[in-house]
Structure 1
Amino acid sequence: MQAELAADLDATMETMVANPHLINLGSGSGGVGQEGVRKFYAEQLIGQFFPPDAEFVPISRTIDGKRLVDEVVIKFTHTQKIGHLLPSVEPTGRKVTMAVVVIVGLQDEKVSYEHIYWDQAGLLVQLGLLNPKGLPIDPTAPKRLLEATGH
């Protein structure tokens, strides 16, 4: 993640196995294989990771020899394009609180895959891009998670 935040594409790719994959389940973005993952990072992540005011609040972490699972709440103001979360969506200026689960597969001390989950409907409601009326969603759930875990 440090290489991603530093916008260093080559260093990011060096942390991965020869045939990695990355899937953002909320938006459907990502890539498969070195070429697909590199293209995803170059076009939708590097330089668009999160706005400068982003705050990452760790909730839990589980690690075994084959995977790392992070549960985190991310708070930010949508002041820039964020291609991996919101492909083709212009900044709205709205504040967001979202819960994210990241599952990272490990092989020979390198990343073999990343599966990243979040509530896309709740995110779109917070940004004013989706009317929640009649939908079975609660965009305040991430804030309640923070409260429940003492954050």
Structure 2
Amino acid sequence: MSTLPDAELERLWERHTELEFQTKDAAATVATMTPDHYVNHVPVLTGGRGPEEMMAFYGKHFIPKMPADTALRPMTRTVGNGRVIDEFTFSFTHDIEMDWMLPGVAPTHRPVEIPMVAVVQFEGDKIASERIYWDQASVLVQLGLLEPQGLPVSGVEQARRFEDPQLPPNELMGDAWRP
């Protein structure tokens, strides 16, 4: 675990994401990590462990396969005990193969907006692990690959309610939930 001040953990995480999404430099991104670092994109089991796997993952699958209009809209951040936990909305147009998120799915050219959570653990001044969570069913609904009728799943409504808690709850339950 890291004993660095919370502000320094935030700075290190922001630098890491800048290298991924703006600079697009796989080697510099991997240099922000411990030697046994791992990434786990929980819904689809993609990522890697250690410098060799992480260079292959970031250099061939993640950074070059990110749609040009990708955006992260921060919602909340919690920092403490050697970790940063971010909640954010991740949006993109699926105009490129994204095997890190959608293995085997050809571009659909549809927009996607989903809430995500990143749990980032530090050791010293390096990132030791990243666990990234999202609802893959919501992604598939938005891409037209999963029909929501009859299933307890939603599409872009997830991101809308995530960003605006004033929107009505329990829509999938219909009127049955009302007192």
What is the rounded CA distance, in whole Å, between the counterparts of 2:92 and 2:165 in structure 1?
20
Whether the aligned pair in 2 keeps the contact of 1:59 and 1:149 (CA below 8 Å) is no
Query: What secondary structure does 1:60 align onto?
Result: strand
Q: Aligned in 2, Cα 1:11/1:19: closer, same or farther, shift over 3 Å?
A: same
1:95 aligns with 2:87: no
What is the rounded CA distance, in whole Å, between the counterparts of 1:7 and 1:74 in structure 2?
17
Q: Aligned in 2, Cα 1:149/1:72: closer, same or farther, shift over 3 Å?
A: farther
Whether the aligned pair in 2 keeps the contact of 1:55 and 1:74 (CA below 8 Å) is yes
CA RMSD for the aligned pairs? Answer: 1.7
Which of the numbers 40, 47, 56 marks the counterpart of 1:30? Answer: 47
What is the rounded CA distance, in whole Å, between the counterparts of 1:91 and 1:149 in structure 2?
33
Taking structure 2 as the reference length, the TM-score comes to 0.77
1:21 aligns with 2:38: yes
CA positional deviation for 1:149 = 7.6
1:10 aligns with 2:21: no
What is the rounded CA distance, in whole Å, between the counterparts of 1:123 and 1:146 in structure 2?
17
Q: Aligned AA for 1:69?
A: I
Instruction: Tell me how many residue pairs correspond in the alignment.
Output: 149
Taking structure 1 as the reference length, the TM-score comes to 0.90
Query: What secondary structure does 1:42 align onto?
Result: helix
Return the structure number with greater helix share.
Answer: 2
Whether the aligned pair in 2 keeps the contact of 1:56 and 1:74 (CA below 8 Å) is yes
1:83 aligns with 2:112: no
Return the structure number with greater strand share.
Answer: 1
Identity of aligned residues (%): 36
Which consecutive unaligned segments of at least 5 residues does structure 2 have?
1-16, 168-179
Q: Aligned in 2, Cα 1:132/1:52: closer, same or farther, shift over 3 Å?
A: same
Q: Which residue of 2 aligns with 1:39?
A: 56
Whether the aligned pair in 1 keeps the contact of 2:141 and 2:154 (CA below 8 Å) is no
Whether the aligned pair in 1 keeps the contact of 2:84 and 2:119 (CA below 8 Å) is yes
Q: Aligned AA for 2:32?
A: T
**Rg larger in 1 or in 2?**
2
Which consecutive unaligned segments of at least 5 residues does structure 1 have?
none
Query: What secondary structure does 1:52 align onto?
Result: coil
Displacement over 6 Å in runs of 4+: none
CA positional deviation for 1:33 = 2.2
